[in-house]
Amino acid sequence: MPLDLTASSVDLTRAICDIPSVSGDEQTLADAIEAAVAPLAHLEVIRHGNTIVARTDLGRAQRVVIAGHIDTVPINENLPTRDIEIDGEAFLWGRGTVDMKSGTAVQLKLAAELVDPVIDITWMWYDNEEVEASKNGLGLLAAVRPDLFAADFAILGEPSNGEVEGGCNGTLRAIVRTVGVRAHSARAWVGDNAIHRAAPILSRLAEYQAREIPVDGLLYRESLSAVRIAGGVAGNVIPDACEVEVNYRFAPNKNAAEAEAHVRGVLAGFEVEITDAAEGARPGLDAPIAQEFVAAVGAEPRPKYGWTDVARFSALGIPAVNYGPGDPHLAHHDQERVPLAQIDAVERGLRAWLTAR
């Protein structure tokens, strides 16, 4: 079904949410977005895989990148979308309404309507954000067209409750292993139980005190958590191996090497393999253009605890923030839902900044 960019942002949210686009299956939605923006004379449209870029070229003194991912985590009987009311407030319920198709819908509407913005805009709608970094459409585009990322400021439409969330925490994953000796469970004393050997690992993680670290005026909260445990051979065998997967969310005052050193310190005495790490992003709110944006949308800056693609822009020296409708706590939730009023408010905020003179 064609996308109608003259519709309201709320109706556009319904339309793009009802086109399933679980990570790896975004082509139908990418095709619809490309078809909708390609006829717009004020935009240069570029496609790379299932990532769509649309740019103004008005010769403005500054340029902003405004980006949103078009994929979702797997659907769990939460499509098609539906309208619901909770305590008198209207919501749109369904997969992607929060993370982050409502933000993408706002962007699509403004991309169509803002033919004469006060700042040049590069709109980016990309695939595979919810999976491993090697598949991320934004990263793949940057590898072949770094010129498209030239900008003075970047905004990611990630859910932020309609507030501005500066920067983001970094994330590190590690596998912590224990080894033992197999034996028949009826003669357990002959063996050495690797799962039991993991108990100190879990104790250290359970007792870990999350730190709050101020970075450029925002207070980031860290966490170190077990997210998966695997071990066991059979119901009558003492296991000889156990793995605990650990995720460390670290403040943007440290790099990946410092984060790794911290994890290894907490888990000293155990075999630790680092499997993935992505550095965070400092808030970047000291840049004049960022301050102008925050003032225009009337938001109170907050820290972003989760990792987002603002980190890609921060690594390029571009200050970046998260600004979108939806409660981050409901991202990926089976009761994912976005307040209709927040969709409208984010549209007004972005429009005001991009057209103010």
Q: What is the DSSP string of 270-301?
A: SEEEEEEEE--B---TTSHHHHHHHHHHT---
Check residue 357 and give its pLDDT: 60
CA distance between the termini of the chain: 37
Q: What digits encode the pLDDT tens for the residues 221-251? A: 999 999 999 999 999 999 999 999 999 999 9
* Alpha carbon 290 to its chain's center: 20
Indicate the helix (H) or strand (E) that contains 257: helix 256-266
Q: Among the options 26, 71, 158, 309, which is catalytic?
A: 71
Check residue 1 and give its pLDDT: 67
DSSP secondary structure letter of residue 222 = P
Q: Which of these, 81, 71, 114, lies nearest to 11 by C-alpha position?
A: 81
Q: What is the DSSP string of 172-186?
A: EEEEEEEE-B-EEGG
Q: What digits encode the pLDDT tens for the residues 254-265? A: 999 999 999 999
Q: Residues with Cβ < 8 Å from 207, sequence gap 6 or more?
A: none
Residue entry with tokens 């057209």: 355
Cα dihedral 78, 79, 81, 84 in deg (nearest 10): -30
The C-alpha atoms of residue 197 and residue 201 are separated, in whole angstroms, by 8
Check residue 132 and give its pLDDT: 83
Q: Which of these, 94, 76, 130, 91, lies nearest to 16 by C-alpha position?
A: 94
Rounded to two decimals, the pTM is 0.88
Check residue 272 and give its pLDDT: 98
Q: Among the options 129, 130, 152, 279, which is catalytic?
A: 129
CB-CB contact of 321 with 284 (8 Å): yes
71 catalytically annotated: yes
Low-confidence ranges of the chain (pLDDT < 50): none
